[in-house]
Chains A and B, each alone.
Chain A
Amino acid sequence: MVISRRMLLGSTAALAGTLALPPLSLAQGEPIRLATLTPLTGAGGPYGPVMVKAAKAVVDEVNAAGGVLGRKIELISEDDQTNPEAGVRAARKLIDVDKVVAIIGTWSSAVTTAVAPLCWESKTFLATVSGADAITLLPHQGYLIRTQPNTTLQGRKFGEFALAQGAKRVFFLSPQTPFFQSQLDNITAAVKKGGGEVGSLVYDDKKPSYRSEIDEALRFKPDALVLGGYTPDTTVLVKDLYRAGYKGLVVAFGYSVNQKLVDGVPAEAVEGIYTISPSPAEGSKAYERLVKLIGVANPDPYTTQVYDETNLIIMAIAAAGQASGTAIKDNIRKVAQSKGGVVVDNAVDGLKAIAAGKAVDYDGASGPCDFTDIGDIADCQFRYEQVKAGKITLVKIA
């Protein structure tokens, strides 16, 4: 068969025509992409995998109920290696290659600070669980929220609690973290107000023993010790504290003295330690749903927060009627804290309410999830627990 010039021209034109068509019709079915960027390896390794699980559970649930805006949601998970340099590389890939509209779950404050500029420059929404005060002060133009209460609030709670337990001399032991200083300042402010004294010591979080640090802390003759580290270093610290014969009050973060730590050290070493954490609204419906969804009995605060962030972002997309970082930025507060809106505890119910044209007020597994203008959590309850006979038992929520 001889191909005439006219035939060739005609078929080429037809081919070009078909090439031009599909994107229009396919766009409807293309999934909305969300990403988790959590630590899966490195120092944050113990926390990240469960966080991913929570986000995945929400996405699966919403997809099973028909997705959002008639589209499925696709969740892409990358590892930030608890390292800002690796985190930036991963975020670049998520933003430029996968074209995600939101990144959820950056944990280390350094990773969040490194990744945030990429997000606001590319108009990608960032929901983080990092606690450093400086993060919400970045010029993020609204493209960032965090569900972790900032340290100003947390520090005060630690100080007030120690005072309430009758301690006058409080010693703060912490590794060097972005929130060490503000934590200390706020503990000091609270304790001084009650006529007490505060001492502090910064330690290296990778040491195999903390005998000399503990000796120094005990020279201060503290009635109460506040531990500011994470699980790996706090494990070593509580064992050495026990060996040193310290009998006073010990208060630690809920994410460091968790069930894993309690199970891993001799029972006497951790008996009586108090923990304070931003209260996952335990007993709330969202919390119970989460426990059931991921099959983890005591999800840590980060996991509850990632669960909430994922729910909020999906609802914000629905409320906006379009999937983009800017749309999420403009609508997230509408679904998180609409006054007089329908109170919901999961995205599936929220999507129904939004479809019915109602305003929505999300109350999550980590708390009420209301945000200030700069993206901090507006109000947060704290959960006070104590280790009793090898079990972490609730003292009060306040």
Chain B
Amino acid sequence: MLSYILFTLTLGGIYALLSLSLNLIWGGAGMVNLGLAGFFAVGAYASALVTGAGAPLVIGWGAAIVVGLAAGLLVTFCTLRLRDDYLAIVTLGFAEVVRLVALNERWLTRGADGISGIQAPLKAELGTAGFNLFYLGLVAAVVAVVWFGLRRLDLSPYGRALRAIREDQELASFAGKRVLRFKFEAFALSAAIAALAGALYAHYASYVSPDHFQPLITIYIFLGVTAGGVGRPLGALIGGYAVVAFLEATRFMAALMPGLSPLQHAALREIMVGLALILVLHLRPQGLLPERIPPAPRVP
């Protein structure tokens, strides 16, 4: 039981990182990024390949961040004139492109076989149980650092400028904000965080394949951020953990229903996930911890 809880918490941390990434770009700058799974995949593959070639882990994670940044810049560059739904569609396309490249470029990614046996840091030294505990701590620490940084960003003038762009891009630009530059930076940073989450996942699971990065994971993260509170890093963080806890809880909830076949249990779980999304949107669209908007200073 304990190792199951450790595992769920570790995975929760990785989802929380993805949620923080989405919150920065969606909650902060108002850009809908449906390509989260793509950036997650880019980071996972980058680190798996670099460490697979013999580089130490730190270099692998560094590479994941760099490649994530580059992918973020590239996608922003390709979508400069797009907003809202159109941007969402193109980013969704990006995620699928990444998955298809991973599936078909066998020389690099080993295709549908995926890359197995990715090095797990200190696993040999710590043993399986020790490793699980160590990795939970590591992921939690990364989540804490990223959350702290994003919160600072959120409260800083930079965060305010991002929000101004989210609310009205033209107005922000009239106010002298360099909208394009903000967008580039925010998107690249968000992509880098998602890529880092991918790298953490790859070295925890020791295996990545194109099947890992189906669009479903993006939907889960949207569910998490919406439930936690769009526009507030702590809300996103809690949402990320909550979504994993909820996904696992549906397993036990479905099992409580007597007289159903395993197939019906599986269907019931999917129904519960859909229902949760609808309920959250209906009952608490602002999320558990809604965005705090400071009152405008009073002009005497």
Contact = CB atoms under 8 A, between A and B. Distances in A.
A148 interface: no
Contacts of A82: 211
Contacts of B212: 83-85, 110, 114
B201 to A, nearest CB: 8
B111 A41 contact: no
Interface stretch (A87-95, A187-195, A249-257, A264-272): A87-95
Contacts of A79: 262, 265-266, 269
A92 B10 CA distance: 12
Contact of B263 (A49, A88, A111): A49
A182 B51 CA distance: 26
Contact of B209 (A49, A81, A110, A122): A110
A117 interface: yes
Given A84-B211, A176-B104, A178-B111, A89 B263 contact: no
A83 B219 CA distance: 15
B79 interface: no
A92 B128 CA distance: 13
Contacts of A97: 1, 4
A307 to B, nearest CB: 16
B205 interface: yes
A36 interface: yes
Interface residues of A, number: 42
B202 to A, nearest CB: 12
A52 interface: yes
Contacts of B209: 84, 110, 113-114
Interface string A44-79: 000011001000000000000000000000000111
Interface string A165-204: 0000000000011101100000000000000000000101
Interface string B265-279: 111011000000000
A276 B212 CA distance: 30
Interface stretch (B25-33, B62-70, B112-120): B112-120
Contact of A41 (B1, B113, B205, B270): B270
Contacts of A138: 116-117
Contacts of A337: none
A109 B112 contact: yes
B262 A41 contact: no
Given A78-B251, A83-B216, A114 B205 contact: yes
B248 interface: yes
B207 A93 contact: no
A134 interface: yes
Given A49-B262, A85-B212, A96 B205 contact: no
Interface string B126-153: 0010000000000000000000000000
Interface in B253-300: 261-263, 265-267, 269-270
From B103, B214, B261, B266, residue with most partner A Cβ within 10 Å: B266
A132 interface: yes
Interface in A104-150: 108-111, 113-114, 117, 121-122, 132, 134, 138-139
Contacts of B217: 85
Contacts of B207: 84, 113-114, 117
A318 interface: no
A40 interface: yes
B4 A93 contact: yes
A132 to B, nearest CB: 6
Contacts of A93: 4, 248, 251
A92 B7 contact: yes
B106 interface: yes
B10 to A, nearest CB: 10
A122 B3 CA distance: 11
B262 A181 contact: no
Interface in B1-38: 1-4, 7-8, 11
A41 B266 contact: yes
Contact of A96 (B1, B100, B270): B1
B262 A77 contact: yes
Nearest to B104: A176
B211 A83 contact: yes
Contacts of A48: 263
Nearest to B2: A96
A84 to B, nearest CB: 5
B114 A177 contact: no
B206 interface: yes
A117 B7 CA distance: 14
Contacts of B1: 96-97
A95 B132 CA distance: 15
B3 A96 contact: yes
Nearest to A115: B207
B251 A113 contact: no
B172 interface: no
Contact of B211 (A40, A49, A110): A110
A204 B262 contact: no
A176 B104 CA distance: 7
Contacts of A113: 113-114, 116, 207, 209
A40 B262 contact: yes
Contacts of A83: 211-212, 214, 216
Contacts of B214: 83
Interface of B: 1-4, 7-8, 11, 100, 103-104, 106, 111-114, 116-117, 128, 205-207, 209-212, 214, 216-217, 247-248, 251, 261-263, 265-267, 269-270
13 contacts: A41-B266, A41-B270, A52-B263, A79-B262, A83-B214, A84-B114, A85-B212, A95-B4, A97-B1, A114-B205, A114-B212, A117-B207, A178-B111
